[in-house]
Amino acid sequence: MLTLQAPVSQTFTARYGEGATLFASPGRINLIGEHTDYNGGFVFPGAVDKGIVAAIRPNDTARVRLYSIDMDEEVIFGLEEADKPTPSWAHYIFGVCRETIKRGGQVGGFDAVFAGNVPLGAGMSSSAALESTFAFALNELFGCGFDRAELARIGQSTEHNYCGVKCGIMDQFASVFGKQGCLVRLDCRSMEHAYFPFDPQGYRLVLINSCVKHQLTGSPYNDRRLSCERVAQALGRELLRGATLEELEAIRSQISEEDYRRARYVIGEEQRVLGVCEALEQGDYARVGRLMYETHWGLSRDYEVSCEELDLLAEIAEQCGVTGSRMMGGGFGGCTINLVKEELYEPFIATAKQQFEARYGITPLVYEVVISDGARRL
């Protein structure tokens, strides 16, 4: 994100004058624990070195002037509910303003310029990075007094109420609470979290972008959440968290086959997250990798949020002897995350590019991952 600071600052000065403060929040990876957050389960994400940088300055009015460098577009809006701007990208910032105000934050008008380098549609939560940047900044600039957990909830509520995605808390939590060199295990029911140092010697963590753009807004994502809610209700629970496969089997005749498979994946994934944490403490990266593959094929076959491009990348990883690989993010496109031994890295990347291009006519993009800090003032 360092490369974004100068252009963001310079653009702000050219458009709105001097006196802005720079803030940043990262995108995230998630080693394991997908679609468990809104079920009250465990997730295991980390912040990355790509994200959003914004220059922001209060303007002593009741209006926001907002310029996106990436969209090359300015939007001006008020802070009342009826003032929601038209461009969808501006809904994230407007939503953060409104959710902060709903919680008693005294937000005034401000001028802002922002840019990002999180690959869009790659499953790295560019939207959470944007929400977290502005939630953190407004909290500091206007003295709202919220803790980091509440800033994450502000971002989540923005998705729910202004962007049409009934997401869990993981993405925003990782963006706000990220810590350099650590992954964070989050209990999405209690919001308790623990940091795990992540520096696997002899391995590299790399994302391969299928270049299939995902779109979570609307039914594909929300339908899966509804499946989980129906099964939880049939089990007499508020959430699937803590349910066992034995309990699921006992009610199988009462639920649809689709809902059964969705719940089977989620219940298994909760145990896989805890298994990966245990394996990391023991230095057992082979077990970490096996669980990553189990997650991928559960997401593909039971949860049905993968796609043929992601499945191919996971298959290539297995063929190349990669320790672990799975699709990452909400699904329907984006990246695989791969835990690769150093000596296998170059041949794996070459093979993945060659086979993927031969099948689809495009070369997948490769991003090495650096685990970074969360939302902050620069």
The answer to whether the beta carbons of residues 58 and 298 sit under 8 Å apart is no
Report the candidate in 203, 186, 202 with the shortest Cα–Cα distance to residue 194. Answer: 186
Respond yes or no: is residue 171 known to be catalytic.
yes
The active-site residue out of 171, 259, 302, 311 is: 171
Per-residue CA distances from 151 to 78, 121, 283 (Å): 21, 23, 34
Mention every residue, 6+ apart, whose C-beta is less than 8 A from residue 331. 34, 35, 123, 214, 220, 221, 299, 303, 305, 306, 307
Yes or no: say if 181 and 198 are a contact pair by the CB < 8 Å rule. yes
The helix (H) or strand (E) run that includes residue 34 is: none
Residues 52-73 as b/e (b if ≥16 CB within 10 A, e otherwise) read bbbbbbbbeeeebbbbbbeeee
Residue matched to tokens 């993968």: 306
φ, ψ (nearest 5 deg) of residue 261: -65, -40
DSSP codes of every residue in 290-352: HHHHHHHHHHHHTS----HHHHHHHHHHHHTT-SEEEEESSSSSSEEEEEEEHHHHHHHHHHH
Pairing of strands 335-341, 324-328: antiparallel
Amino acid at 358: A
Indicate the DSSP class of residue 159. I
Which residues have a catalytic role annotated? 171
